[in-house]
């Protein structure tokens, strides 16, 4: 079993739609959680951190459920520019060793 | 700051040849990571350094792979001899050694071994 698992998609949605991605992680001792975004043929970049209380950044909302060991990302009013691969990322130790999920591909269409 | 700088951006080499990938982390960052990305396996952590010291190299696929960090501003990943299955995008990333900070990635080196 992979340490961080995601549905690879693709998720094909129309502009303006709301879309949600989930991610599960296997190590209950994981300490911090993130969503990264990766555009085609580019490097991954931090989208947002995920906090236990849930957090929002504009159209993006991230939530963490430690009991069930899953993380979610909700995108509201999706834009064409949101088309990318979204990577769920978990930090397993006290340093900053990040473990990436396989990514979920999102395609937003006009 | 110019960000994490990797070179070369693209490398095409013949099977059996030695390949050296280079990385300059962001100044002030004390952690450096090498990742490999393929369609089949996604992003895999190969090795990471803290204060120039290798902390975990369990992700290095085999002895053909080696990595060094002689100082805080430079790291190399070497493959010798290279094989076609090593073809992938290799990313270097740097960050501060704390639990909740962003890792910044270089633009990657696209390696093709023929």
Q: What is the pLDDT of residues A34-86, one digit of tens each?
A: 999 999 999 999 999 998 888 999 999 999 999 999 999 999 999 999 999 99
- Looking at residue A97, its pLDDT comes to 78
Please state, in angstroms and rounded to a whole number, the distance separating the CA atoms of residues A95 and B3. Answer: 21
Q: Residue A41, Cβ neighbours under 10 Å: how many?
A: 9
Task: Looking at the complex, report in whole angstroms how far the Cα of residue A91 sits from the nearest Cα belonging to chain B.
Answer: 7
Q: Who among B31, B42, B91 is closest to A96 (CB)?
A: B31
Q: Do A96 and B95 touch (CB under 8 A)?
A: yes
Q: Do A44 and B43 touch (CB under 8 A)?
A: yes
Task: Looking at the complex, report in whole angstroms how far the Cα of residue B80 sits from the nearest Cα belonging to chain A.
Answer: 25
Instruction: Give the tokens for residue B81.
Output: 């001899």
Please state, in angstroms and rounded to a whole number, the distance separating the CA atoms of residues A14 and A36. Answer: 22
pLDDT per position as a tens digit, B30-77: 999 999 999 888 899 999 999 999 998 989 988 999 999 999 999 999
- Looking at residue B1, its pLDDT comes to 61
- Looking at residue A95, its pLDDT comes to 63
Instruction: List B105's β-bridge partners, or say none.
Output: B93
Please state, in angstroms and rounded to a whole number, the distance separating the CA atoms of residues A93 and A90. Answer: 9
Higher pLDDT, B7 or A31: B7
Average pLDDT over residues B78-96: 96
Q: Who among B35, B42, B96 is closest to A96 (CB)?
A: B96
pLDDT class of B92 with cuts at 50, 70, 90 = very high
Please state, in angstroms and rounded to a whole number, the distance separating the CA atoms of residues B20 and B66. Answer: 10
- Looking at residue B99, its pLDDT comes to 66
Q: Who among B42, B48, B55 is closest to A100 (CB)?
A: B42
Report whether A11 contacts A107 (CB < 8 A): yes
Q: Residue A50, Cβ neighbours under 10 Å: how many?
A: 23
pLDDT class of A94 with cuts at 50, 70, 90 = low
Q: Residue B107: list chain A partners with CB under 8 A.
A: 42-43
Phi (first) and psi of residue A18, to 5 degrees: -105, 135
């Amino acid at each position: 079993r992979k340490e961080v698992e995601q549905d690879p998609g693709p998720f094909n949605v129309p502009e303006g739609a709301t879309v949600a991605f989930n991610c599960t992680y296997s190590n209950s001792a994981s300490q911090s959680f993130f969503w990264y975004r990766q555009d085609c043929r580019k490097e991954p970049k931090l989208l947002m951190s995920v906090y236990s209380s849930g957090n929002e950044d504009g159209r993006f909302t991230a939530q963490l459920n430690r009991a069930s060991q899953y993380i979610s990302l909700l995108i509201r009013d999706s834009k064409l520019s949101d088309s990318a691969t979204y990577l769920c990322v978990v930090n397993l130790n006290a340093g900053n060793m990040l473990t990436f999920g396989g990514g979920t591909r999102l395609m937003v269409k006009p | 700051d110019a960000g994490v700088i990797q070179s070369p951006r693209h490398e095409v080499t013949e099977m059996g040849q030695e390949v050296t990938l280079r990385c300059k982390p962001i100044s002030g960052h004390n952690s450096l990571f090498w990742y490999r990305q393929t369609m089949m396996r996604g992003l895999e952590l190969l090795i990471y350094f803290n204060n120039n010291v290798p902390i975990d190299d369990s992700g290095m696929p085999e002895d053909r792979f080696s990595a060094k960090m002689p100082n805080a501003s430079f790291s190399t990943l070497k493959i010798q001899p290279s094989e076609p299955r090593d073809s992938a995008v290799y990313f270097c990333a740097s960050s501060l050694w704390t639990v909740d900070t962003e890792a910044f990635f270089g633009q990657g080196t696209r390696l093709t071994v023929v």
